[in-house]
Structure 1
Amino acid sequence: MSLKEKDIKLVIGSGGYNNNPGWLHTQENELSLLDEKTWGEMFDNNSIAVILAEHVWEHLTYYEGVQAAKVCHKFLKPGGYIRCAVPDAFFQDEEYQNTVKIGGPGPKDHPAADHKIVYNYKSITDMFHTAGFETQLLEYFDEKGAYHQNFWDGKDGVIFRSKKYDPRNQGQQIIFPSLIVDAVKI
């Protein structure tokens, strides 16, 4: 069976991690969010069930994020979704914000050195709505610094940097959260 014939669960920018066994894991050099041609070479339109992107979208500008979401939209099945996790601009911790800020904390080899945006729950849902998705927030902080969590199941896509799975976030204090949203193609 060719890749185009399977019910596809896809991880974008996996970074060599495999938090979702059995899923197709890709890197930017294999599948670029901004290059629809690379997608068309691997997938048919309306063929992907789930796309998971953990700490990927912050490496794009807002407008590149809209473009990337539109590319994903074309290849997702109706009812399919993007499970997206990004750093949370409303998490009230100075050290965290310094680490995830645009340009990162300093060294050019730091993973955040090419961050182009830090989303909050309003800006990320707006970005996905602009691309034609409906959204459901899973984990996020609001403007007052209050944490919110809606039920989500790891069998539908594990986000490691979450309250649910990251050992740093177990117990009373959250140390390294993600803003997590499901963007659903209707």
Structure 2
Amino acid sequence: MVLQQEEIKIVVGAGEYNNNPGWIHTQEKEIDLLDELSWRNRFEIKSITAILAEHVWEHLTYEEGIRAAQICFEFLKPSGYIRCAVPDGFFPDEAYQNVVKVGGPGPKDHPAASHKIVHNYKTLTEMFEAVGFQVELLEYHDEHGNFQYKNWNGKDGVIFRSQKYDPRNQGNKLAAPSLIIDAIKVE
């Protein structure tokens, strides 16, 4: 059944979290970022207002990430967006980097669950821009390990693993940050 409604907002790879009430929460078996048919079975082309992907894109290679972005671009309305959060490759913390490294967390019996890439703001931006998105950086570390932050609104998609919402990141020290972007479809 193809969904038709005025505003469609989906969370891909939602896991057990429901940080975005009113959004459609999906798992990989329902919407596969790399399988256009799984999208066509549920949505019309240019019908989606927003896609939220919290700690999903690091489970794709760079090339798979571009392919997933292309599919999302096709299904987003003009001015629609992807709010994407991934582990931050420029966060200057050795323990954090050890956890998020390529081949990092994920069950051994499900290799797709492990990380295939560790993005920094440059690689993630380049990947989405290659498809035609305009990228706005929301939270990230620069090459010098300095945290950069642009005020963003949770009503446009809550990223739990963020400076803004994760209780581990309150105060003056970040413990578990994400690199967060909005990739906006400009046509």
Q: Give, in angstroms, the shift of residue 114 of structure 1.
A: 1.2
Match of 2:54 in 1: 54
Match of 1:10 in 2: 10
Match of 1:118 in 2: 118
Tell me if 1:136 matches 2:136.
Answer: yes
SS at match of 1:52: strand
SS at match of 2:129: helix
SS at match of 1:179: strand
Question: CA separation in 2, counterparts of 1:105 and 1:160?
Answer: 18
1:11-160 alignment runs, 5 A limit:
11-104=11-104, 108=108, 114-160=114-160
Asked if structure 1 preserves the Cα contact closer than 8 Å seen for 2:161 and 2:177, the reply is yes
Asked if structure 1 preserves the Cα contact closer than 8 Å seen for 2:106 and 2:114, the reply is no
Question: CA separation in 2, counterparts of 1:111 and 1:23?
Answer: 28
Question: CA separation in 1, counterparts of 2:63 and 2:179?
Answer: 19
Question: CA separation in 2, counterparts of 1:110 and 1:179?
Answer: 25
Question: CA separation in 1, counterparts of 2:23 and 2:185?
Answer: 20
List per-residue Cα deviations over 1:145-165 (Å, max 9, x = no partner): 000000100000000000000
Question: CA separation in 1, counterparts of 2:168 and 2:185?
Answer: 32
Q: 1:111 to 1:11 in 2, by over 3 A?
A: farther
How large is the Cα RMSD of the aligned pairs? 1.7
TM superposition score normalised by structure 1 = 0.95
Tell me if 1:183 matches 2:183.
Answer: yes
Question: CA separation in 2, counterparts of 1:158 and 1:141?
Answer: 19
1:156-171 alignment runs, 5 A limit:
156-171=156-171
Amino acid at match of 2:123: S
Identity score, percent: 65
List per-residue Cα deviations over 1:47-94 (Å, max 9, x = no partner): 000000000000000000000000000000000000000000000000
SS at match of 1:5: coil
Question: CA separation in 2, counterparts of 1:112 and 1:98?
Answer: 18
Question: CA separation in 2, counterparts of 1:110 and 1:137?
Answer: 31
Amino acid at match of 2:131: A
SS at match of 2:34: coil
Runs (5+) with no aligned partner, structure 1: none
Q: Give, in angstroms, the shift of residue 16 of structure 1.
A: 1.6
